[in-house]
Amino acid sequence: MMAALSTLSGGLRRPLWPRRYLLAAVIVAWVLVWLFVRGQDTLQLGGAELTPLHARLNEGSEAIDNSRNDNPLFLYFINYIRLFLDESITFVQGLISQPSFGRPLPVIGWLGVVAIATAVAWLYGNRKVALLTLAGFVSFGLLGLWEESMDTLALVLAAVALSLLIGIPLGIWAGVNDRFNRLVTPVLDFMQTMPTFVYLAPLTLFFLIGPASATVATIIYAVPPAIRITAHGIREVQPETLEASTSLGSTPWQSLRKVQLPLAKRTIVVGINQTIMAALCMVTIAALIDAPGLGKSVLKALETLDVGTAFNAGLAIVVMAIVLDRLTSAAGRRVETAHRAGRAQKPGRRRIEVAAVLVVTAAAVYLSHVYVWAAEFAGDANVGPYVRRGADAASQWAQDNLFVYTSAFKNLITYSLLNPFEALLTGSPWWLIGIVVIAFAAILSNIRVVIMCAVSLGLLVGLGLWQDTMVTLASTLVATVLVMILGVAFGVWMGRSGRVDQVLRPVLDAGQTMPPFVYLVPILGLFGATRFTAIIAAVVYAAPVAIKLTADGIRGVSSAAVEAATAAGSSTWQVISKVQLPMARSAVTLATSQGLIYVLAMVVVGGLVGAGALGYDVVAGFSQLQLRGKGLAAGVAIVVLGIMLERITRTAARRADTVARGTR
């Protein structure tokens, strides 16, 4: 627990020793009080029991449900949005994935799509990315998943385009207007931490079953990064540069167009990148409401516990994520150098190159429209079965042979760490937890956060799921500690060595984008339906982010400082522990708070593998009509928990920073 807290507060430093003692004192006092009042006022609630609030939430959703046919909002507004969404996605599907316009095959066959994607990568990125794109798109066909991949691509592209259409203007607004920024931030927090399962079923009431609902669900999850990162990019512009523009008499609009937007362009591309990744994360979940594509293959395979097939489809999702990620990143870098290179390079040469690429692409598109061999990916070139068999064999082997060790490991962590900690949290009266959280907030951050914590705790009590919240909190904190151990260890390793980075990065990308449903079965086999399995799933998903952020921070440490430390005779370990980690502290803190958010994003998946508590409540609410209100309450509890923990870590880190700087 101590380790957890010191990691959470972002590697406290010398000037903060007294605070560390204070925290220790709070924990000791907590345990002592717990010994006496254990089991009192723990606000337990049985699995199927409902509080009046839950019942009222049920009634509320019923009411909306029933007014669907005569409410003008539905008749004149939502219906048109739905029609528009359905039509646009069906149109894209008709182009690349589904039989359309009276043809037995889509308008553009595999060869044409591969050519277009490669050409885009070549013209907007570089040759290396074009090669990767070519390989990636061909692999969809080779895995035997061409049509599914194209369905997914259509959905993702449509959702991303709409997310950007909404997100970038709002992001710009949030970038230039403080008030709007303050207003929109909690809304975005809410959108990102509210589990999708909570709004998936109601969404189909508004937008009906079909692509429209899937798109809206995806947008809800994918639009926040677009808004946040765009706003960040606008805000990042040097104030003096903006001032210079103003001092020459620019209107705000001119400054935005000629200074802020061009300078924020690169950051905005990062935002686009994150939006794409978020959209791909939703592919599997949206399949629960009949969204077409790879997600469906994954879920179908899960019904028969067919790990191989799920892995095969998951692999296609990962490949798509990596291709789109690298493509947008390369395009982003190109944005910067584009017009410079454009001027430097002889325009004639470039024009010939572009023309050549376009001619080949057009030829490929034409062929794929006319000839069957270019339209339909040949079935005999299918390596899917091998991938499936390989994954099956690997999963089976691991489950058969590693079970003894993995279950021993699970028991070790559960008995020594998770169970005692959970006992402390669930056994404490709610008011004791309240006092402890507020004491932590007071020691670690400022009065505003203390008030926010008090309000959040009040909400958590009011939501009627206190016990479940405590169980989830225990698992969440343990998972976050594991994430940070991995994050720091691998992050340092990656940050110090470019080669390690190159090898590890695709693996991390896979961990982040491989749908959890794919590896649920093997980890269930290894660890059983337990809270620990849920923790493992969360770690697989969250550790890559923490590792990447830490590595970026380590790499960002000025080489001069490292050189100086080396010149002073530091050992490698000393350089890491005394120079690189402390100097990368803000990155480590960011990694912690992002790790925490990612862990919370997996609470619901945890509910599917034995974590119980809030995750299970949400899943059950999605599956049973009378538990819908309770599921909604559980979703809100996850959001409240997330926002509370995130604010404490963030302000703690900020305060630690200022304290450290103030005493220097």
Residues 427-456 that bind other proteins (CB under 8 A): none
| 525 is an interface residue for other proteins by CB under 8 A | yes
- The residue length of the chain stands at 664
Residues 200-229 that bind other proteins (CB under 8 A): 200-201, 204-205, 208-210
Among 43, 528, 561, 583, contact with other proteins (rule: CB under 8 A): 528
Q: What are phi and psi of 125, to 5 degrees?
A: -110, -120
Contacting other proteins (CB under 8 A), which of 238, 497, 558, 663?
A: 238
Q: Does position 532 bind other proteins by CB under 8 A?
A: yes
Taking residues 588 to 627 in sequence order and writing x for each that binds other proteins by CB under 8 A, - otherwise, the string is ------------------xxxxxxx--xx--xx-xxxxx-
**Phi, psi (degrees; rounded to nearest 5) at 42:** -90, 0
d(CA 638, CA 631): 11
Residues 6+ apart with CB under 8 A from 106: 93, 94, 95, 96, 97, 98, 99, 100, 150, 375
Of 80 and 415, the one with the shorter C-beta distance to other proteins is 415
Query: How many Cα atoms are found within 13 Å in the side-chain-facing hemisphere of 23?
Result: 22
Q: Does residue 235 touch other proteins according to CB under 8 A? A: no
* Distance set, CA 152 to CA 133, 146, 324, 459, 509 (Å): 16, 10, 13, 38, 18
The 252-271 site mask, x for binding other proteins (CB under 8 A), equals: --x---xx--xx-x------
**650 contacts 609 by C-beta, under 8 angstroms:** no
Q: Which residue do the tokens 């035997």 mark? A: 144
Count, residues near other proteins per rule CB under 8 A: 107
Of 162-170, 353-361, 459-467, 504-512, the segment contacting other proteins by CB under 8 A is: 353-361
Window 283-342: residues binding other proteins (CB under 8 A) = 287-290, 296, 299-300, 302-306, 309, 336, 340
Residue 359 burial by CB count (10 A; 0-12/13-18/19+): exposed, middle or buried? exposed
- Can residue 383 be called a binding residue for other proteins (CB under 8 A)? no
Q: What residues from 29 to 68 belong to the interface with other proteins (CB under 8 A)?
A: 46-48, 65-66, 68
The owner of tokens 């044409």 is: 112
Q: Is the torsion defined by CA of 376, 380, 383, 389 positive or negative?
A: positive
The nearer residue to other proteins, 26 or 425, going by C-beta atoms, is 425
Is residue 80 involved in binding other proteins (CB under 8 A)?
no
d(C-alpha 321, C-alpha 130), whole Å: 15
Binding mask 620-649 for other proteins (x = CB under 8 A): x-xxxxx-----------------------
| Cβ 370 to other proteins shortest distance, Å | 6
Supply 535's token pair. Answer: 């923790």
Instruction: Tell me if 349 contacts other proteins by CB under 8 A.
Output: yes
Contact pick of 357, 394, 485, 660 for other proteins (by CB under 8 A): 357
Other C-beta atoms closer than 10 Å to the C-beta of 634 total 33
Q: Rank residues 32 and 344 by Cβ distance to other proteins and give the closer one.
A: 344
Give the other-Cβ count within 10 Å of 324's Cβ.
24
Indicate which single residue of 56, 103, 128, 448 sits in contact with other proteins (rule: CB under 8 A): 103
Q: Given the structure tokens 């605070």, which residue do they identify? A: 19
Q: Figure out which of the listed residues 17, 350, 393, 455 binds other proteins, where binding follows CB under 8 A.
A: 350
Please tell me whether residue 369 binds other proteins under the rule CB under 8 A.
Answer: yes
Whole-number Å distance between alpha carbons of 114 and 365:
9
